[in-house]
């Protein structure tokens, strides 16, 4: 007989999907356990609260996205190509998730102010993405002291593309951001070009 995945895994996976699709605050525990085909007592045996389920979910999301960034960094592409690849990946992510945008941003918009634990996770996730761009722009223009500013610009283009892709349910913001990033990188590595 096929061993079913553990109840905990089913709960976390189901919750991840539902949170991503409709948002943390719009999904209740009852629905999660129904769809995960488990019992409420089992849920509370593995997670002390709904909030802890949220942090586990976000942790998994962060780890996966860090792996993606690390793979890009480890690849032998040129810096500008690495950046381009990351924007292409964003487009795929949005399409795969029905343009639901960033789980961190979406969650941050609904949890209350005093939930410091989740707020910190949001901040560090965003700063990790920013640091990723900083690494790449430093690689791109090792002599330029504008690497940091360029990294911030790319980070903001990336965020803007994510959120407007979500708002407009469209891929054009990602493509526009990608094109802008490509041009900025080209200009930075060859400042004399038009």
State which of positions 2-41 bind a second copy (CB under 8 A). 22-23, 25-26
Choose between 73 and 115: whose C-beta lies nearer to DNA: 115
Asked if 57 is part of the footprint of a second copy (rule: CB under 8 A), the reply reads: no
Asked if 172 is part of the footprint of DNA (rule: CB under 7 A), the reply reads: no
DSSP letters along the chain, please?
-PPPPPHHHHHHHHHHHHHHHH-GGG--HHHHHHHTT--HHHHHHH-SSHHHHHHHHHHHHHHHHHHHHHHHHHS-S-HHHHHHHHHHHHHHHHHHTTT---HHHHHHTTS-TT-HHHHHHHHHHHHHHHHHHHHHHHHH-SS-TTHHHHHHHHHHHHHHHHHHHHHHT-SHHHHHHHHHHHHHHHHHHSTT--
State which of positions 63-122 bind a second copy (CB under 8 A). 101, 104-106, 108-110, 112, 122
Asked if 128 is part of the footprint of a second copy (rule: CB under 8 A), the reply reads: no
Contact of residue 126 among a second copy, DNA, none (CB under 5-8 Å per partner type): a second copy
Asked if 56 is part of the footprint of DNA (rule: CB under 7 A), the reply reads: no
Contact 104, 125 (CB under 8 A): yes
Phi/psi for 94 (5° steps) reads -60, -45
Choose between 10 and 100: whose C-beta lies nearer to a second copy: 100
The residue range among 36-44, 59-67, 75-83, 109-117 that interacts with DNA, by the rule CB under 7 A, is 36-44
CA distance 188 to 151: 11
Interface residue with DNA among 29, 60, 138, 171 (CB under 7 A) is 29
Choose between 42 and 153: whose C-beta lies nearer to a second copy: 153
Question: Interface residues with DNA (CB under 7 A)?
Answer: 3, 6-8, 27-31, 37-42, 44-46, 48-51
Question: Interface residues with a second copy (CB under 8 A)?
Answer: 22-23, 25-26, 101, 104-106, 108-110, 112, 122-123, 126-127, 149, 152-153, 155-164, 166-169, 172-173, 176-177, 179-180, 191, 194
């Amino acid at each position: 007989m096929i061993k079913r995945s553990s109840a905990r895994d089913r709960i976390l996976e189901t919750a991840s999907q539902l949170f991503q699709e409709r948002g943390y605050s719009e999904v209740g525990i009852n629905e999660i356990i129904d769809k995960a085909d488990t019992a409420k007592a089992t849920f509370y045996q593995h997670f002390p609260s709904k909030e802890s389920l949220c942090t586990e979910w976000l942790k998994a999301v962060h780890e996966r996205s860090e792996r993606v960034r690390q793979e890009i960094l480890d690849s032998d592409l040129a810096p500008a190509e690495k950046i381009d690849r990351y924007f292409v990946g964003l487009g795929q992510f949005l399409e795969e998730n029905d343009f639901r945008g960033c789980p961190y941003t979406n969650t941050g918009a609904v949890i209350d102010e005093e939930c410091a634990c989740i707020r910190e996770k949001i901040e560090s996730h965003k700063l990790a993405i920013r640091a990723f761009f900083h690494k790449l722009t430093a690689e791109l223009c090792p002599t330029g002291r504008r690497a940091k500013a360029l990294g911030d610009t790319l980070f903001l283009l990336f965020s803007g593309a994510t959120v407007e892709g979500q708002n407009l349910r469209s891929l054009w913001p990602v493509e526009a951001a990608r094109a802008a990033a490509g041009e900025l990188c080209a200009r930075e590595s060859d400042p004399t070009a038009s």
